Amino acid sequence: MRKKLSILVNLLSLGSLLTTLIWYTFEDSYVEFYRPSPQRGAPKPSELCKGCKEAIDKVKKLYNQTWKKHEENCHRFRLQLRINCNGSNNAIVTQENTPVGSKIVFDKDRTVIPVTPELFNILIKENPFSKKRWDTCSVVGNGGILTNSGCGKTIDSTDFVIRCNLPPLENEFKSDVGMKTNLVTANPSILTKKYGSLMARRRAFVDSLHQYGNSLLLFPCFSFGAYRAVCQRAVYAIEDMEIPVQPIFTNPQYLQSMDKFWKSQGVNGHRPSTGAYMISLALELCETVHLYGFWPFSNHPYKLFPLTNHYYDNVPYDSRVHAMPDEFYYWVQLHNKGILKLHLEDCKSGQV
């Protein structure tokens, strides 16, 4: 009996050790970014994704390479967004619009929470966008089309730069995507998958934020109740380690109004992508909006060589949640109407 008990204890210890090793291997695989091997030559037939050439040909026929801003179209679309969404005033949860004792209703699972003094204290005092306007803005997606694009300086030359979901900017990525960041989003699912929900050591997460300087760090934390705790842990880590980014939270009422608006425009995914939310906000706040890194296909638009899904990895998006091709075709329409400029080419020196 004692011998069997000893064997059982050893097996349990071995299982615990294996679980720990698997966890750290899994966790580290999310933390490390890498530059996918660039391919700039003509693709082999096997490297063209199914239906991609036909879809790309369709885009190229629709896409107007000679772009000119259309002031009247810009004004009309901006007015539509302000009437339906009003991101200038409603995009962010603040101490002004969410006092202690009020309630926050989450936009997806309809969780309702009271605003406690503890929660109130981590909210920004007032909306950082309510009295601000910029001349030129770049919204930078993370598409593999940015690999070897040389667009870094062009992106950084605009007045306000928005980035999505904590992308890597330093070292080998800098020349293609730039470094300037005024606003960067942090989806709570990234905190969960990449940083273990911040339940243990938080140094890797905190160190990753230095590249964004003193930018606004936007958390959409009031969509699902399960994500609220990890968002608060992220804010506490930022405060405790005195990182200069400014955490802010997306207003769930704004996200709800944005969902309705994009469905009315024919974009029918389960919910808009982070990029769609940021483009919408930029169109309210900026006179001229440039899009970089938005390309939903697995091959380059002009030379057709294969692309990774992101410029730093090849993890696919969840097609059950986001309608990326629908969104992209809508950006092409706005480009052709002179409302925003969608960049699909590599960048030349000094080109904006």
The domains of the chain, with CATH numbers, are 45-92+134-342 (3.90.1480.20)
What pLDDT is attached to residue 142? 96
Cβ-count burial of 136 within 10 angstroms (0-12 exposed, 13-18 middle, 19+ buried)?
middle
What are 327-336's pLDDT values in tens digits? 999 999 999 9
What's residue 303's pLDDT?
84
Q: Report the pLDDT value the prediction gives residue 53, as an integer from 0 to 100.
A: 80
Q: Is the pLDDT of residue 5 over 50?
A: no
Give the DSSP H or E segment for 171: none
Mean pLDDT of all residues in 108-112: 90
DSSP state of 317: P
- Residue 11: predicted pLDDT: 39
Read off the pLDDT band of 184 (50, 70, 90): very high
Q: How confident is the model at residue 315 (pLDDT cuts 50, 70, 90)?
A: confident
Residue 323 has pLDDT above 90, yes or no: no
Tell me: pLDDT of 40 over 80.
no
Pairing of strands 112-114, 103-105: antiparallel
Mean pLDDT of 190-212: 93
Instruction: Give me the mean pLDDT over the 120-145 stretch.
Output: 95
Mean pLDDT calculated for residue range 45-54 = 68
**Residue-averaged pLDDT of the chain:** 85
**What's the pLDDT at 326?**
86
pLDDT tens digits, one per residue of 212-270: 999 999 999 998 888 889 999 999 999 999 999 999 999 999 999 999 998 898 887 67
Kindly tell me if the per-residue pLDDT of 1 is higher than 50. Answer: no
Three-state DSSP at 224 gives: coil
Is 322 an active-site residue? yes
Q: Give the pLDDT band (50/70/90) at residue 34.
A: very low
Candidate list 290, 300, 310, 322, residue with the active-site label: 322
pLDDT of residue 26: 31
Q: Is 90 exceeded by the pLDDT of residue 85?
A: yes
Nearest alpha carbon to residue 170 among 210, 131, 217, 220? 210
pLDDT the model gives residue 80: 96
- What is the pLDDT averaged over residues 148-160? 97
Question: Does position 4 have pLDDT exceeding 70, yes or no?
Answer: no
Q: Which two tokens stand for residue 219?
A: 């958390």
Q: What is the DSSP string of 22-58?
A: HHHHHHHHHH----PPP--SPPPGGGSPTTHHHHHHH
- For the residues 303-321, what does the mean pLDDT come to? 83
pLDDT band, residue 322 (cuts 50/70/90): low
pLDDT score, position 47: 62
Q: What is the rounded distance in angstroms from the CA atom of residue 58 to the CA atom of residue 54?
A: 6
Position 318 pLDDT exceeds 80: no
Widest Cα–Cα separation across the chain: 86
Mean of pLDDT values over 18-46: 42
